[in-house]
Chains A and B, each alone.
Chain A
């Protein structure tokens, strides 16, 4: 039953990874842009949540209501000022620009908040759990995270499938030039995609800040986990990203069960195996509802 418990915990952990990776997947799906600042931006959101909770005393989940629009605005501005320019240059430009952005963000956070570990306090919720069997207990907060992850991905998928701007994103993802001739302003679509992506990072960052201790350098690991979830699931596929997150989570928790000191390693091994034998991921599909 210990193994079953490890798998259940892995699935729940996958919800957080999927939440972290959804924005990365969307940006890649729409713009073919690999945002290396994604992890650093998630930590920005975690600090934003932390500051709001500490300074105003608002409940941690309520801080999401402020963090998400702030991150979305930041995304819109970043796309308009920096990323659109980078996308119009050579293929490596967006990677270099977002890498530089990640370095700048990390150092700014170090200046502002020092390298001390922090976390967003949710009181007893952090340790509350539901006993399913004598050997399996589900943490309430991980369960909430998982449900939010699934909901976010489901809503995003519906948005892409059923709304005009969602279709514009899919059209632009398919063929940017043809989409322009259908009257779609790709700069607007890209800005919207990044705003949504960073809004999702806002949710993910606050959940990350509640679940675990973080510091300004934590963005690197966050980016790697999100990236692994996207690659395992298949680039640009949202449900694939959820599946990728769960597979990564299971690999890590099962790995920890087998080798307590190096659980994360098995996650990386699964990622490398997928990359080696199925580089398009397990469920490849360009974002298209």
Chain B
């Protein structure tokens, strides 16, 4: 792609004590693209999402988003600039209704209040299949609906980029395709997605490019099927160069 990237990550590094969780990470994410990120436990996937979302500050490197340097912006400001985020373990505002959870995202990060905010919130609920649960307490939702609420809340913030952190984790084999379909529709509507996932087959079926992280470094990035065939990727996953992509 030759267009200006929506997100440009340059030399991003982060170290916690002696543990390096991000080491000189450099990559671009283009408008409308879905980038999947895989890697074994401790590879630095969630750290990378936290660095992009502004939950933690990098030790070095820079982040450009939509033409703006966001490296030193806080999480709230990044959310307002168009970066939405879902958590690995859903973190709904349990005392609020499902609608209120989403409306909070629309009214603050999305800066859309009143009637327009309501419409935006209901639209996000409809997209994620939660409309019928709008008035339920968020704390009472089952896991799939909590995951959907994470997505709906992020959508309501009017994001240009959505960061998904293991959103399919914990779901049943029957539930995963439903969620993947929702995310596919999201990407088709023009939203850019960066998606971390352990359930690789779910990810590969929905993303344009795949990046594999290990020990805070990029092992491979490119076409999903090519990345999954890469010997380095197979080795970090299964610890053997004799394994094949199908084993993963």
Contact B95 A174 (CB under 8 A): yes
Asked if residues A183 and B105 are in contact (CB atoms below 8 Å), the reply is yes
Please determine whether A171 and B74 come into contact, CB atoms closer than 8 angstroms.
no
Select from chain B the residue with minimum beta-carbon distance to A178: B91
Task: Determine the distance from Cα of A184 to Cα of B77 in the docked complex, in whole angstroms.
Answer: 8
Which residues of chain B are within 8 angstroms of A288 by Cβ–Cβ distance?
Answer: 93, 95-96
* Chain B 95-125 per-residue mask, 1 if CB under 8 angstroms from chain A, else 0: 1100010011101111101000000000000
A197-246 with Cβ < 8 A to chain B: none
B93 contacts A183, CB within 8 Å? no
Query: Does A183 lie within 8 Å of B79, measured CB to CB?
Result: yes
B96 — which chain A residues lie within 8 A by C-beta?
Answer: 167, 170-171, 174, 288-289
Within 8 Å of chain A (Cβ to Cβ): is B30? no
Tell me the smallest distance from the CB of B56 to a CB of chain A, in Å. Answer: 11
Interface residue range, chain B: 20 to 34
* Chain B: minimal CB distance from A245 (Å): 22
Asked whether A182 and B79 contact (CB < 8 A) given A168-B108, A171-B96, A177-B55, the answer is yes
Within the complex, the shortest CB–CB distance from A192 to chain B, in Å, comes to 13
| Contact among B74, B94, B95, B108 with A182 in the assembled complex (CB-CB below 8 Å) | B108
Q: Does B53 contact A (CB under 8 A)?
A: yes
CB pair A181–B80 under 8 Å, yes or no, is: no
Interface of A is mostly: helix
Name the residue of chain B whose CB is nearest to the CB of A188: B76
Chain A residues contacting B76 (CB-CB under 8 Å) are 180-181, 183-186
In the complex, A182 Cα to B105 Cα: how many Å? 5
A164 pairs with B113, CB closer than 8 A? yes
Instruction: Looking at the assembled complex, report how far the CB atom of A237 sits from the nearest CB atom of chain B, in whole angstroms.
Output: 11
Taking CB atoms, residues of chain A closer than 8 Å to B157 are 182-183
- Most chain A beta-carbon neighbours within 10 Å: one of B55, B85, B103, B107: B107
**A111 lies within 8 A of chain B by Cβ:** no
Q: Tell me if B35 is interfacial: C-beta within 8 Å of chain A.
A: no
- Residues in chain B near residue A179, CB distance under 8 A: 93, 104
Q: What separation, in Å, do the CA atoms of A289 and B137 have in the docked complex?
A: 12
Tell me, yes or no, whether A175 is within 8 Å of chain B by CB: yes
Please pick, from A164, A174, A175, A285, the residue contacting B107 in the complex, using a CB distance under 8 A.
A164
Give Cα distance in the complex from A200 to B92, angstroms: 30
CB of A286 within 8 A of chain B? yes
Q: Would you list the 8 A-B pairs with minimal beta carbon distance, nearest first?
A: A183-B109, A288-B95, A183-B108, A183-B79, A174-B93, A180-B75, A178-B91, A182-B105
A residues lining the B interface (CB < 8 Å): 164, 167-168, 170-171, 173-175, 177-186, 285-286, 288-289
